[in-house]
């Protein structure tokens, strides 16, 4: 199993249909001050939130951004809430902890929102049409990152790549970003390390290649993400053992 596992962030988006999220009501001072006090946010801004689960449309009001608060998860430990964003058709909750903490944060938030009504008597927030998860994890693995590449590809790259004419002390560091697309449709966008719908695996910035500390981003809740990384470690361990004849 991977070691030194750190859940860097868990993020969840609640996406709504047209007019199911009354952004104007959520933008008035009386409401966003109550949300700020609900979690103790250090700041709140009326403005366009940064893109997290997709493009943020230009609207008026542009959105509401709440930054930096805290949540006591299961009465055991503090989970920082990095932000809560209100967009035109999306609410995004981001916490520096497990996705399970978002359950409690969302429950408290939606309980408060359920008591709000627009001027026409309808709910300020309806039922979401879709819920999306995303998480980022770093961990120390037991294999070099170039193990993601087939051996012939590693040989070719080692032979071809030249940095300053000296490759003897260099190692190949691949970055993998994978996303599923319909095979009979044109691909609208190439997956990248910033794509919240892609599976990304790369060297953790600020670490050395020989430390085997990697970054993983995935459109999964943190628990499912950890299970995936555990299985990935097993797959590579078995693959290396099969190639070397180890038991």
Q: What is the pLDDT of residue 244?
A: 59
Q: What is the pLDDT of residue 194?
A: 81
131: β partners: 14
Strand order across the 3-15 sheet: 43-46, 64-73, 77-86, 90-95, 3-15, 130-140, 213-218, 199-203, 176-178
Q: What is the pLDDT of residue 242?
A: 61
Q: What is the pLDDT of residue 246?
A: 47
Q: What is the pLDDT of residue 18?
A: 92
Q: What is the pLDDT of residue 191?
A: 78
Helices (H), the chain: 23-27, 29-39, 99-113, 151-160, 222-244
Q: What is the pLDDT of residue 151?
A: 83
Q: Which residues contact 63 (CB under 8 A, 6 or more apart)?
A: 23, 27, 46, 47, 48, 49, 56, 85, 86, 87, 88
**Which residue's structure tokens are 């909750």?**
93
Q: What is the pLDDT of residue 96?
A: 96
- HSE toward the beta carbon, residue 161, CA cutoff 13 A: 15
Q: What is the pLDDT of residue 216?
A: 96
Per-position pLDDT tens, the chain of length 247: 888 999 999 999 999 999 999 999 999 999 989 999 999 999 999 999 999 998 899 999 999 999 999 999 887 889 999 999 999 999 999 999 999 999 999 999 999 999 999 888 889 999 999 999 999 999 999 988 888 888 888 888 887 876 555 556 678 889 999 988 888 988 887 878 788 999 999 999 999 999 999 999 999 999 999 999 999 998 887 766 666 554 4
Return the sign of the alpha-carbon dihedral for residues 87, 90, 91, 92. negative
Q: What is the pLDDT of residue 65?
A: 96
Number of H helices, E strands in the chain: 5, 9
Q: What is the pLDDT of residue 4?
A: 93
d(CA 175, CA 104): 34
Q: What is the pLDDT of residue 49?
A: 95
Task: Break the chain into its structural domains and give their ranges.
Answer: 13-130, 136-244
- Does residue 101 contact residue 107 with C-beta atoms inside 8 Å? no
d(CA 32, CA 64): 8
Q: What is the pLDDT of residue 187?
A: 86
């Amino acid at each position: 199993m991977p070691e030194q596992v750190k859940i860097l962030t868990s993020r969840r988006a609640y996406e709504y249909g047209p007019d199911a999220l009354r952004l104007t009501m959520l933008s008035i001072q009386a409401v966003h001050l109550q949300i700020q006090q609900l979690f103790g946010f250090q700041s709140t801004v009326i403005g366009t939130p940064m893109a997290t689960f997709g493009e943020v449309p230009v609207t008026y009001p542009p959105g509401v951004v709440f930054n930096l608060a805290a949540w006591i998860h299961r009465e055991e430990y503090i989970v920082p809430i990095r932000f809560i964003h209100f967009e035109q058709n999306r609410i995004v909750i981001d916490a520096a902890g497990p996705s399970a903490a978002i359950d409690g944060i969302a429950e408290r938030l939606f309980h408060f929102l359920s008591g709000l009504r627009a001027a026409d008597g309808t709910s300020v927030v309806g039922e979401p049409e879709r819920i999306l998860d995303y998480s980022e994890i770093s961990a120390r693995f037991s294999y070099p990152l170039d193990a993601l590449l087939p051996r012939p590809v590693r040989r070719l790259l080692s032979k071809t790549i030249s940095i300053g004419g000296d490759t003897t002390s260099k190692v190949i560091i691949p970055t993998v970003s994978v996303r599923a697309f319909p095979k009979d449709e044109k691909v609208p966008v190439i997956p990248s390390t910033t794509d919240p719908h892609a599976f990304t695996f790369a060297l953790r910035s600020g670490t050395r290649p020989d430390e085997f500390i990697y970054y993983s981003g995935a459109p999964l809740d943190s628990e499912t993400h950890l299970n995936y990384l555990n299985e990935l470690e097993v797959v590579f361990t078995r693959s290396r053992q099969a190639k070397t004849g180890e038991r």
